[in-house]
Amino acid sequence: MPENISFANLFLGRIGGCIGEISSLLLLIGGLYLIARRVISPLIPLSYLGTVALITFFLPKIESAVAWEFMLVELLTGGLFLAAFFMATDYVTSPSNPKGRVVYGVGCGVLTVFIRYYGGYPEGVSFAVLIMNLFVWYLDRYAKPVRFGGESRGKK
């Protein structure tokens, strides 16, 4: 990371970037407000951000980088907070059950890191959310909870 950019500047949005995605602090406040008002479930943002954090910590793209610094740079740059709190949690395109929401968030996180590491496009957030939107129907169908008194799918 260049010397003129600090983690505080990344977190506060004192860097260049696309409108609406540079201030991680304001996006975090907005996301926490939506969670506190119960507008969105915390499962998708937590699983999304947690997956990106775990993968980038244990498998940094730059081998000479300090793991936690690389992880913070990956979390605080780009549209990750915007996607985790505002794009991936859209009612129409996100799963309706808790297990599906966790799988959806983990899938978004894995795809985001994969596209950032190996794709020709530097920001994989929007593509990851769009690709995982294709699987929402399957997540809703196969991850739905069993009704009380009903049989599970495995038992006959």
Q: What is d(CA 46, CA 52) in angstroms, rounded to the nearest whole number?
A: 10
Question: Is 106 domain-assigned?
Answer: yes
Question: Is 1 domain-assigned?
Answer: no
Question: Is 155 domain-assigned?
Answer: no
The angle, 0 to 180 degrees and rounded to 10, between the axes of the packed helices 67-76 and 43-58 is 140
Question: Is 56 domain-assigned?
Answer: yes
148/35: higher pLDDT: 35
Write down the mean pLDDT value for the chain: 88
Q: What is d(CA 85, CA 87) in angstroms, rounded to the nearest whole number?
A: 6
State the pLDDT confidence band at 132, using cuts at 50, 70 and 90: very high
State the pLDDT confidence band at 145, using cuts at 50, 70 and 90: confident
pLDDT in the model for residue 1:
57
Domain carrying residue 123: 7-142
Let me know how many helices (H) and strands (E) the chain has, helices first.
8, 0
Extended strands (E) in the chain: none
Question: Is 153 domain-assigned?
Answer: no
How many domains in the chain? 1
pLDDT of 12 over the 90 cut? no
Q: Which helix (H) or strand (E) holds 139?
A: helix 136-142
Question: Is 151 domain-assigned?
Answer: no
pTM: 0.87
